[in-house]
A and B are shown apart, each in its own frame.
Chain A
Amino acid sequence: MDVVHPRSLTPLITGWIALAVLICGPVSANDTGSSEVARGGYLVRAGDCEYCHTDSNGQPFAGGRAIPTPFGVIYSTNITPDATTGIGQWTSQDFYTALHTGIRRGGSHLYPAFPYPWFTKISRADVDAIKAYLDTLAPIKQSNKSAELPWPLSWRGAMFVWNTLYFDEGEYKIDTTQSAQWNRGAYLVQGVAHCGACHTPDNWLGGTKHSEALEGGNAGMHWAAPGLGSNLRDGVGGWSAAEIVEYLKTGANAKSASAGPMTDVVMNSTQYLSDADLDAIALYLKDRPHAAHETPPQTHDLGAAALARGQALFTDNCTACHNPDGRGVPKVFPPLTGSASIQANNAGTVIHVVLAGSKMAAPSSLPTGLSMPGFGWKLDDREIADVVNYARHAWGNRAPLVDAETVAAVRKDIEPSDRPSRDGASTTHPDAPVNRGNL
């Protein structure tokens, strides 16, 4: 039987969403009973715990998802209350210690693929609420898998060294010079929502460059997480607070649309946040400083020939939706002009999207899930570099140049690009070009 349900994502946890209530201030200690569970469920959403802790097609929260890191594969763990394979025997203190220090029950170090460098900011009351919520889940017996890491990283004690270098333990401290709303936004962004896990650059050992917080980072598989600072070119400086809220709620606004991992974040997490929390996040992000970036190359550095090649490819391939002027169609097909993703210093996202296509988030408030097809089957690496460079330099856009080798590196790592479905399992697009005589 062929039951097609192509857009089913993570199964919904019904019930609690409606219960999610506005939470005031980063710390609140007056929760009891079911309201604590509801708040915990809300925080679990805000932290998008389910995404990492659920294997593709696996049981929710039972772990097993492979998390690729630059150093090797780590598997998420079972956080259902199963006594032997999950966290059923963990006390609230065990759970708090794990989130707060990265040391799990039994004393071994967790790898920072588990975002404890952010979760350390979460208040004790909120951690307890999360635990209370997780305790209400049905226990699932599913053993955890070992990480596949090379020595010395396979030795968890190495994390002690790493923590010493890069980890700052401690709950969020209220900035008394700022409003309660600002503090709430900062608490969520820095803590449970762990935005910096992707949007802040890492050093070569995977340590977060706190000095460059939210200035743009790497979300894995060549997805570049754009800067969330006030930069106009490659940040959200040009977005109003309302546009930030709209984006987090629906995955799209007049300036941009979600792609790649951010589509998952919107679908699993931010669409469920309360308006008050989204307003607080927007207020905090609007207050982020301008990141100091090198001036990107000017258009003449690209060269007239490359620009002309790129323009031709853009005209032939992209204008159906993005229009010849690159402005797209507001809230339908995202504009490329002035886009932070297009102009990000790291061109990974735009290369990834051009190669393999992309699907916008499809929350119930904006259910379409508009998609862009992949061009990897019809454009070669140099052509994609040309069209990407064009989009990064046309209409006043500016960004570092991309070469064919960069495109090749992304192509090597990602899934094959889309293909007409009538060709079934074939991974080669039937229209993929070849020269005459080479059949």
Chain B
Amino acid sequence: MANPLKPVDVVLVGFGWTGSILAEQLTQTGLQVLALERGKFRDTVPDFATTQIQDELRYAARDGLFQDTARDTLTFRNSVDQTALPMRHLGSFLPGVGVGGAGVHWNGQLWRFLPEDFVIRSHTEQRYGKGFIPADMTIQDWGITYAELEPHYDTFDYLCGISGAAGNIQGQIQPGGNPFEGPRRRGYPLPPLKRSYPTVLFDKAAKEIGFKPFPCPAANASAAYKNTLDVQMGPCTYCGYCEWFGCGNYSKASPQTTILPVLLERKNFSLRTQCDVTRINLDSTSKRATGVTYVDQQGRQFEQPASLVICCTFAQHNALLLLLSRIGQPYDPKTNTGVVGRNYAYQITSGVDVFLDEIMNPFMGAGALGQAIDEFNGDNFDHGPEGFIGGGYIALWTTGGRPILQHQLPADAPKWGAGWKKAMAENYLKSASIATHGSVMSYRDSYLDLDPTYRDVYGDPLLRLTFDFHPNEIKMSGFLTDKAALIAQAMKPRSFHAIPRIGHYSIVPYQTTHNTGGCAMGADPRTSVVNKYLQSWDVHNVFVMGSSVFPQNAGYNPTGTVAALAYWAADAIKNHYLRSPGPLVHM
């Protein structure tokens, strides 16, 4: 059986962005904090070294830095009447594994959600009436406001050295920024990245139409930066290997480049890698966690006692851990009761490929080097005539021109043979792509539960994902795609074609790693797993981080909100929970 270990104050399950933030914040109080990470230790040198990281086959095509599906995967089906089958290798999304988590291989596209995003149900009902929300759409308010999160968004901006142009400083609209964003207390710490040619063309085209384009906020440093922990970053060199890669020259914000140099030196912090946490353990009342059980690299099982357990795993894995540990009532779509696994959501994306006369040099880029418009995100426009809820941004990103997975060809190009080859030669250097990045609402039939058939390496059930795009999202995405095509046309290309998102959601092609929900936050324990402080309603010394707490997904990349919520929760733990451990919200 499990070998008991010396108790710690806090055990963090998973050591990506949220684990690193919580550890840095809670070790400040003197607590003994232990992080358990399923993957290996990784650092800029040697793991992401400039000598070897720019290897598209190893890291992108062969998933070098991501979750190993041989050990842990999930099963998937589009609807409850199908039999879920295992995701046998990664495709649609790419959870991280190892120190830094997905914070190592992200692009660095750092957004804040809109103030209305946090109150979407009440706002929508107020503006459009209760009947505007489809009956099977289970969206809910977050139980927190943008104003409450703003200081924490700001903390993360200055930790990461975000490059960008502010659009709204304390209510004052700033020229050149995103005029639709919520008010921020101050501008970004660094100016925007240098502009690539396609982003300049997008900017011009969007302005001609009457939109207000702006440089996308980037966690790729536009200049050398020393952050709020005195950790240094180097300037981005536009090498075009951000997403799916680690950064070799310290210019993409990650736990390694912003927090770990300071955190790993703290004597009250320790990290154990290659440890799979299999359970959160509860006392006999099931109201209090006593610690976690984990299995180390050699297969030895340990019981780690802790006063506080914080789930910091990748998105849907938090729901799996709660289900396996029997914390909270599992969601049942038939009766629409229970909470754990409820409100899984995702992102809906589409694109417009653009082929131009001039050389674009697509290989020069950065993960968050983009120009965007936000006219059609959130509730920035009147949804009444459109008949759908949600929205997204439209952006031209130049993240890189990695040849295997990032080449674009005109719609009429042959799929293979001499024609394909000629089309590749003719178009690779002269193409760009406009992306739409849309919200996904939550629905009664989109959820996570335990698979009845398939097991992981420990014999535990795999998580089962039941998800499909709904008409609301398909309609919204089509609306965004049409707007993107307008901009594409104004770029005066040789040709362009839209790649709309149609049909069923498929686990196969990569879309985004923006999985959300399963442990929704909220003000009502009947529809949420955690309260506004990300504390379990059922077991007060368990907190849950990450996008798993999003009740539905907004039209932006989630990392900014994930990090802000982590700082928000850390603040509540430090200033309220530690003083009197117990439920922070009483019903």
Contact of B271 with A by CB under 8 A? yes
A332 touches B265 (CB 8 A): no
A329 touches B224 (CB 8 A): yes
A2 touches B51 (CB 8 A): no
Q: Knowing A2-B297, A368-B261, A421-B40, say if A378 contacts B235 (CB, 8 Å).
A: no
Interface string of B224-237 (1 = CB under 8 A from A): 10000111111101
Q: Knowing A320-B239, A371-B44, say if A2 contacts B272 (CB, 8 Å).
A: yes
Residues of B near A429 (CB, < 8 A) are 52
User: Which residues 393-437 of A sit at the B interface, judged by CB distance below 8 A?
Assistant: 418-422, 429, 431
Which of A3, A419, A420 is in CB contact (< 8 Å) with B271?
A3
Interface string of B48-66 (1 = CB under 8 A from A): 0111100100000000100
A6 touches B43 (CB 8 A): yes
Residues of A near B472 (CB, < 8 A) are none
A369 touches B302 (CB 8 A): no
Contact of A373 with B by CB under 8 A? yes
A330 touches B224 (CB 8 A): yes
Which of A333, A366, A418 is in CB contact (< 8 Å) with B46?
A418
Contact of A357 with B by CB under 8 A? yes
Residues of A near B47 (CB, < 8 A) are 420-422
Which of A3, A6, A7, A378 is in CB contact (< 8 Å) with B51?
A378
Question: Chain B: which residue is nearest A328 at the CB level?
Answer: B234
Contact of A375 with B by CB under 8 A? yes
Secondary structure of the B contact surface, majority rule: loop
B232 touches A368 (CB 8 A): yes
Question: Chain A: which residue is nearest B297 at the CB level?
Answer: A2
A421 touches B51 (CB 8 A): no
B46 touches A373 (CB 8 A): yes
Bound state CA distance, A372 and B249, in angstroms? 9
User: In the complex, what's the smallest C-beta–C-beta distance from B257 to chain A, in angstroms?
Assistant: 8
Which of B51, B264, B265 is in CB contact (< 8 Å) with A364?
B265
User: In the complex, what's the smallest C-beta–C-beta distance from A377 to chain B, in angstroms?
Assistant: 8
A370 touches B232 (CB 8 A): yes
Contact of B501 with A by CB under 8 A? no
Residue of B55, B232, B250 ringed by the most chain A CB atoms within 10 A: B232
User: In the complex, what's the smallest C-beta–C-beta distance from A257 to chain B, in angstroms?
Assistant: 11
Contact of B248 with A by CB under 8 A? yes
Question: Chain A: which residue is nearest B230 at the CB level?
Answer: A367
User: In the complex, what's the smallest C-beta–C-beta distance from A428 to chain B, in angstroms?
Assistant: 13
Bound state CA distance, A320 and B49, in angstroms? 11
Residue of A317, A364, A371 ringed by the most chain B CB atoms within 10 A: A371
Interface string of A48-70 (1 = CB under 8 A from B): 00000000000000000000000
User: Which residues 327-386 of A sit at the B interface, judged by CB distance below 8 A?
Assistant: 329-333, 357, 359, 362, 364-375, 377-378
Contact of A300 with B by CB under 8 A? no
Residues of B near A364 (CB, < 8 A) are 265
Question: Chain B: which residue is nearest A14 at the CB level?
Answer: B267
User: In the complex, what's the smallest C-beta–C-beta distance from B273 to chain A, in angstroms?
Assistant: 5
User: In the complex, what's the smallest C-beta–C-beta distance from B68 to chain A, in angstroms?
Assistant: 11
Bound state CA distance, A359 and B49, in angstroms? 13
Residues of B near A305 (CB, < 8 A) are none
Bound state CA distance, A331 and B42, in angstroms? 24
Which of A1, A7, A359, A371 is in CB contact (< 8 Å) with B265?
A7
B296 touches A1 (CB 8 A): yes
* A/B pair count, beta carbons within 8 Å: 114
Residue of B230, B264, B270 ringed by the most chain A CB atoms within 10 A: B264
Bound state CA distance, A6 and B46, in angstroms? 13
Bound state CA distance, A369 and B265, in angstroms? 12
Bound state CA distance, A331 and B261, in angstroms? 17
Residues of B near A374 (CB, < 8 A) are 46, 51
Q: Knowing A368-B232, A373-B49, say if A6 contacts B224 (CB, 8 Å).
A: no
User: Which residues 192-249 of A sit at the B interface, judged by CB distance below 8 A?
Assistant: none
Contact of B45 with A by CB under 8 A? yes
Contact of B197 with A by CB under 8 A? no
Contact of A321 with B by CB under 8 A? yes
User: In the complex, what's the smallest C-beta–C-beta distance from B512 to chain A, in angstroms?
Assistant: 25
Bound state CA distance, A371 and B50, in angstroms? 11
Residues of B near A331 (CB, < 8 A) are 224, 232
User: Which residues 3-22 of A sit at the B interface, judged by CB distance below 8 A?
Assistant: 3-8
Residue of B46, B50, B64, B296 ringed by the most chain A CB atoms within 10 A: B46
User: Which residues 248-277 of B sit at the A interface, judged by CB distance below 8 A?
Assistant: 248-250, 261-262, 264-265, 270-275
A1 touches B302 (CB 8 A): yes
A4 touches B296 (CB 8 A): no
Residues of A near B41 (CB, < 8 A) are 4, 6, 421
Residues of A near B234 (CB, < 8 A) are 321, 329, 332-333, 370
B231 touches A367 (CB 8 A): yes
User: In the complex, what's the smallest C-beta–C-beta distance from A27 to chain B, in angstroms?
Assistant: 37
Residues of A near B232 (CB, < 8 A) are 331-332, 366, 368, 370
User: In the complex, what's the smallest C-beta–C-beta distance from A131 to chain B, in angstroms?
Assistant: 29
Residues of B near A365 (CB, < 8 A) are 230
A5 touches B45 (CB 8 A): no
B272 touches A321 (CB 8 A): no
Bound state CA distance, A5 and B270, in angstroms? 7
Q: What are the 10 tightest A-B residue pairs by CB atom distance, in nearest-first order?
A: A373-B49, A371-B45, A418-B46, A368-B232, A320-B50, A367-B261, A373-B51, A373-B45, A332-B224, A332-B234
Additional 4 contacts, C-beta under 8 A, given A6-B41, A320-B249, A418-B49? A320-B239, A367-B229, A367-B261, A367-B262
A selection of 8 A-B contacts at a CB cut-off of 8 Å is A6-B43, A320-B249, A332-B233, A332-B234, A333-B249, A367-B229, A367-B261, A373-B46
Residues of A within 8 A of B (CB): 1-8, 317, 319-321, 329-333, 357, 359, 362, 364-375, 377-378, 418-422, 429, 431
